[in-house]
């Protein structure tokens, strides 16, 4: 019989799971505040309305569940068969009756958290492949889902805010995004950024400490993360007090 408590013993993964589940609860709460009619409204993502966004977040839970099952069974089950299949499934699911879309969201989230719960401690380092083709330990799926649920809660556009995010989440998001830019810097000619969080005593975040030229940007940690995730430049200023230019793409 399946256990009723997490099998994972690594305290870092246990803490990460807590943050993912808090994010799911946050996202689900904002989704539940939407009336059926609200589902037809726009999201904050320009190319997706709320139905497409809600379909995507539900299907993302299913896709991540496939990776956890892969790690548990050793039977390769990719997140998506192809980019096209992923897109078609979102298009189709977005047309579902509202209650069916709510059920997809709830059931997919529960299934994922049960798979995480029942994954044996020794299986958390088993490797799987992400949608972008990276080989990662399955423990990485926790962070993959964490950033989806928290950020897409904001994208629902009914009141969730980066300002509500826990400080450790804001820090982890910035580290993730700056790391992604570091890896693409040469190929894409990206600038080095020195980010000063004014609500953290001006503590600067910079993954290239010996850079001779850096673009300095200031804002609250929440505003810097909003900017870095491509959700607008509000509250982010240059060293001269000018509005910041939009951030490079993240993923």
Residues in contact with Zn ion by CB under 5 A are: 148
Cβ-proximal residue to Zn ion, closest one: 148
Residue 201 gets the label, from left (phi > 0), alpha (psi -120 to 50) or beta, of left
Query: Least CB distance from residue 143 to Zn ion, whole Å?
Result: 13
At its nearest, how many Å lie between Zn ion and the CB of residue 87? 13
Closest Cα to residue 170, out of 118, 99, 226? 226
* Helices (H), ranges, 156-220: 167-188
Phi, psi of 16 (to 5 degrees): -65, -40
Residue number with CB closer to Zn ion (128 or 244): 128
Q: How far is the CB of 213 from Zn ion (least distance, A)?
A: 33
Q: How far is the CB of 60 from Zn ion (least distance, A)?
A: 6
Q: How far is CA 51 from CA 42, 57, 106, 147, 205, in A?
A: 8, 10, 15, 19, 36
Give the length of the chain: 251
The nearer residue to Zn ion, 6 or 89, going by C-beta atoms, is 89
Phi, psi of 206 (to 5 degrees): -155, 120
Tell the smallest beta-carbon distance from residue 62 to Zn ion (Å): 13
């Amino acid at each position: 019989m399946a256990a009723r408590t997490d099998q994972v013993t690594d305290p870092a993964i246990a803490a990460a799971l807590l943050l993912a589940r808090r994010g799911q609860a946050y996202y689900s709460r904002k989704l539940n505040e939407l009336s059926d009619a609200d589902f037809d409204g726009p999201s904050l993502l320009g190319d997706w309305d709320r139905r497409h966004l809600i379909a995507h977040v539900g299907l993302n839970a299913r896709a991540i569940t496939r990776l956890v099952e892969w790690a548990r069974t050793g039977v390769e089950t990719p997140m998506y068969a192809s980019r096209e299949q992923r897109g078609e499934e979102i298009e189709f699911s977005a047309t579902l009756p509202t209650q069916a879309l709510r059920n997809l969201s709830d059931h997919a989230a529960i299934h994922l958290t049960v798979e995480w719960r029942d994954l044996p401690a020794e299986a958390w380092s088993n490797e799987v492949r992400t949608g972008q083709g990276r080989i990662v330990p399955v423990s990485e799926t926790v962070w993959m889902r964490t950033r989806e649920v928290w950020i897409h809660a904001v994208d629902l556009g009914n009141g969730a805010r980066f300002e509500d995010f826990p400080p450790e989440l804001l820090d982890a998001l910035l580290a993730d995004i700056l790391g992604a830019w570091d890896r693409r810097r040469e190929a894409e000619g990206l600038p080095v950024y020195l980010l000063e969080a004014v609500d953290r005593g001006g503590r600067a975040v910079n993954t290239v400490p010996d850079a001779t030229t850096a673009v300095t940007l200031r804002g609250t940690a929440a505003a810097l993360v909003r900017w870095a995730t491509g959700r607008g430049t509000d509250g982010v200023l240059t060293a001269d007090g000018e509005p910041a230019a939009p951030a490079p793409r993240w993923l």
